[in-house]
Structure 1
């Protein structure tokens, strides 16, 4: 790629753009923070590639933000300099699957009955020691969306179970903490929201700063089941928007984690039915 601007000029333009439009801090840029850490999301990357294409006179692809993730690397690439792109994950070597596995952090969320949700391994252990039960009467609003006022629906609802185990705080999600706009968060399957929270708690439990994993070959392996949230959302046709697809798809669950924490290893979601409560992050 050739450009009418030299590397220093491209870098100055990028710094000015990121500071002015993304709120990035110059010291972050000087320290070699990635575009992701500087606040460049997927939509921002599309806009920025258009600006850079006009600036350099050549077509710039959003993929290049991942191949050349820092301002210095991108400026050198866009000005025609030699720079090594981020390497793709290498396949395991022979015998690599025999490496020992260690569980170094745990996070969890369980129904706790009248005592509220159980959060974290310590609370869960105490919950077991106390021989508590999570089974309560079904919340009164549980079946409200399914009651259309007809005699047929009333007959069905009269026969449903009165008992079950339910998370009480499934609607409590700090979208701002995870840099997700409220409108998108409302479209996210609770499984996606809970997983982000639990992974953050598991890293804290392990004593691993979340930002220390950015750009590392860390894999995310999740089990998931049931897409009733997405099915219910599809019934509200006027409410289907740009966030519905990613918010309701099981395949996105692992990617939510890898995208937010900027992990570069494999991200896999599998419908594992009853074992879907088990999630693992593999630190390569």
Structure 2
């Protein structure tokens, strides 16, 4: 018996042809895994992407208290701005989290065999979970000289989903969610509700997180949230905290 048939027989009340949904496209940018295929190979091999903080990752002085361990993306600032219609003048103000959402939202549609240009004008919803705005804090010391018409939309995390919707030219709901660690799951829940209510015909859901400043993980370390071993040990008696990580992963 196929897995889908087993699930349906065990949970018949959850299988409704009028409300059943499918994930048809995925993409990701994760430490040690630039795409879903590499992520699968990483997991299959039982490898870890946790490393010491890369040299030069933090700008400015770093406290001796700053944790040593984490899972970090390589060169998260790299971005093909011209492809997304962003001018050289505007590009430096665009939060790398916005850049990742644009790139990976496009890739998730391609993975679903959907030509992104063909969704223009449709009721495709964009839902993004994000909680940090380190880039805004990085730029804030230079706010007086960097105050331009590009700065606010570039660093405002509240419009992250709107940036993706505007680029795709879609007319569905566009919602950025910040509910701390549950942001991505809440974004997924809202997307499912939007599809069930027929507010959206299709949706792209994305979670994104970058640690561009040491302060956020330093605070977590001070209240005892981080593992001094640099390992999560989930559901294990050896667990003594979590390890900060970065990445982005959309579904469509």
TM (norm. structure 2) is 0.64
- In the TM superposition, residue 99 of structure 1 has moved relative to its aligned partner by 2.2
1:102 aligns with 2:22: yes
Would the aligned equivalents of 1:143 and 1:157 in 2 still touch at CA under 8 Å? no
- In the TM superposition, residue 247 of structure 1 has moved relative to its aligned partner by 0.7
- Give the match for residue 53 of structure 2: 138
Counterpart secondary structure, 1:220: strand
- In the TM superposition, residue 205 of structure 1 has moved relative to its aligned partner by 0.6
- Give the match for residue 237 of structure 2: none
Q: Which of residues 112, 121, 135 in structure 2 aligns to 1:215? A: 121
1:123 aligns with 2:35: no
In 2, the alpha carbon distance for the partners of 1:224 and 1:144 equals 22
In 2, the alpha carbon distance for the partners of 1:170 and 1:142 equals 11
Gaps of 5+ in 1: 1-97, 113-117, 148-155
The structure with the largest alpha-carbon Rg is 1
Would the aligned equivalents of 2:125 and 2:171 in 1 still touch at CA under 8 Å? yes
- Give the match for residue 219 of structure 2: none
In 2, the alpha carbon distance for the partners of 1:100 and 1:184 equals 41
- Give the match for residue 11 of structure 1: none
- In the TM superposition, residue 133 of structure 1 has moved relative to its aligned partner by 1.0
Gaps of 5+ in 2: 1-17, 202-252
- Give the match for residue 239 of structure 1: 146
TM (norm. structure 1) is 0.57
Would the aligned equivalents of 1:106 and 1:120 in 2 still touch at CA under 8 Å? no
- Give the match for residue 163 of structure 1: 69
In 2, the alpha carbon distance for the partners of 1:131 and 1:103 equals 25
In 2, the alpha carbon distance for the partners of 1:191 and 1:143 equals 17
Q: Which of residues 112, 119, 133 in structure 2 aligns to 1:206? A: 112
- In the TM superposition, residue 277 of structure 1 has moved relative to its aligned partner by 5.0
- In the TM superposition, residue 119 of structure 1 has moved relative to its aligned partner by 2.0
In 1, the alpha carbon distance for the partners of 2:182 and 2:37 equals 21
In 2, the alpha carbon distance for the partners of 1:275 and 1:172 equals 27
Would the aligned equivalents of 1:233 and 1:240 in 2 still touch at CA under 8 Å? no
- In angstroms, what is the RMSD of aligned CA positions? 2.0
- Give the match for residue 44 of structure 1: none
- In the TM superposition, residue 157 of structure 1 has moved relative to its aligned partner by 1.3
In 2, the alpha carbon distance for the partners of 1:171 and 1:232 equals 13
